[in-house]
Amino acid sequence: MASEGIALETRIADYLAHRMPGAASLEVEGLARIHGGSSQETFRLRAKWREDGEDRSRQLILRRAPEAGLVNAEHDLEFKVYSALADRGVPVPRAHYLELDPAWLDRPFFIMDLMPGKPGEIYGTDDPYDGDSDAVAHNFWRHMGTLASQDHLALGLTHLRNGEAEGGFAASELSYWEAKLDEDEAIVEPVVRGAIRWLRRNLPADPVHPAICHGDFRSGNFLYLPGGEISAVLDWEMCHISDPLEDMAWALDPMWTMERHMTLDEAIPLWEETSGMPVDRAALDWWRLFSMVKACSLWTTAEASFENGTSREMIVALTAMRASSFHRRQIIGRMADLGAKA
């Protein structure tokens, strides 16, 4: 391992020893960066120590704030969501430590359990889940519905965006992502702006009740086991309170749609059973167009961060280059299907 990695191992070990006073001779080994994300730096590691006369070890994940990325979230948000959702029917890793003091590892970070399983695929073959696509899709939609059934007030998640709102979620989310475009857009994108105008003129009704929205609930952000069980839903840094159809629409986006593995007509009853709410198809159409606007806003932020030098991660630039034009084309097609006039 490079000297930088060895130094980081030592610093992580020092931190864990600080948080685990009963752990003697604590060491960190096998530190490795997990690439593929662009909003947090993710490392896997093994901690080893002696406690109560026994040798112990634990596989862990460390998530550290990046210098810049697609999402500039509060760094404690994801940790708080993992903690709130523990044992609530949505599989998430057990979160252990949150550290906001940059003195330890230069930037805020948190530490959680490493979960077993393989990452869900965004792209690839017609059968990316080793013959278990049906089971994966079944569990995917049921877990999303279970998330929508949670009471965010009872779980203490009022700090999330829209956490104290009782309605107006479509307008609020549209304004949020439009503001991101206003901030980062190098040139006006007429296709995206036209979609925003249509969305604002055609706001859907509010949901039966507010729901916890993951914000990025899709292929690529969960782990699965042989047989199709989903062992963990990951990457909650975009979590907020909204209409639960926002998550459903995002999961149906053509770039990573779960419709490759289960039709929408098959998925909706699974979601409705676990969420306890009906799916308004017209509202879902609105949220599907909204999701494409949201995606374009994310890619615009990625482009801006790379162009202005705040991000040096090549994945940020490559993601933006590939995805921004794709989603603009998707917006055109979706608006044509809706008979929308900008």
pLDDT at 125: 64
Domain end point (choices 76, 95, 113): 113
Co-location of 221 and 74 in the same domain? no
Co-location of 90 and 131 in the same domain? no
Q: What is the pTM of this model?
A: 0.92
pLDDT at 1: 42
Co-location of 187 and 328 in the same domain? yes
Co-location of 83 and 184 in the same domain? no
Question: How far is 267 from 311, CA to CA, in rounded Å?
Answer: 38
State residue 114 phi and psi, 5-degree precision. Answer: -80, 125
Co-location of 125 and 172 in the same domain? yes
Q: Which regions of the chain are under pLDDT 50?
A: 1-2
Question: How far is 87 from 64, CA to CA, in rounded Å?
Answer: 24
Sequence letter at residue 330:
Q
Tally of domains within the chain: 2
Co-location of 323 and 174 in the same domain? yes
Domain end point (choices 63, 94, 113): 113
Co-location of 109 and 123 in the same domain? no
Co-location of 177 and 310 in the same domain? yes
Domain CATH code at residue 68: 3.30.200.20
Question: How far is 156 from 162, CA to CA, in rounded Å?
Answer: 13
Co-location of 282 and 262 in the same domain? yes
Domain CATH code at residue 264: 3.90.1200.10
3-state secondary structure the chain: CCHHHHHHHHHHHHHHHHHCCCCEEEEEEEEEEECCCCCCEEEEEEEEEEECCEEEEEEEEEEECCCCCCCCCCCCHHHHHHHHHCCCCCCCCCEEEEECCCCCCCCCEEEEECCCCEECCCCCCCCCCCCCHHHHHHHHHHHHHHHHCCCCCCCCCCCCCCCCCCCCHHHHHHHHHHHHHHHHCCCCCHHHHHHHHHHHHCCCCCCCCCEEECCCCCCCCEEECCCCCEEEECCCCCCEEECCHHHHHHHCCCCCCHHHCCCHHHHHHHHHHHHCCCCCHHHHHHHHHHHHHHHHHHHHHHHHHHHCCCCCCHHHHHHHHHHHHHHHHHHHHHHHHHCCCC
Q: Which two tokens stand for residue 267?
A: 């998925």
Co-location of 246 and 268 in the same domain? yes
Question: How far is 161 from 73, CA to CA, in rounded Å?
Answer: 11
pLDDT at 168: 98
pLDDT at 121: 76
Co-location of 245 and 299 in the same domain? yes
Domain end point (choices 94, 113, 132): 113
Question: Which residues partner with 232 through β-bridges?
Answer: 223
Q: Which two tokens stand for residue 10?
A: 């030592």
Range of the domain at 163: 119-338
Co-location of 206 and 245 in the same domain? yes
Question: How far is 308 from 161, CA to CA, in rounded Å?
Answer: 27
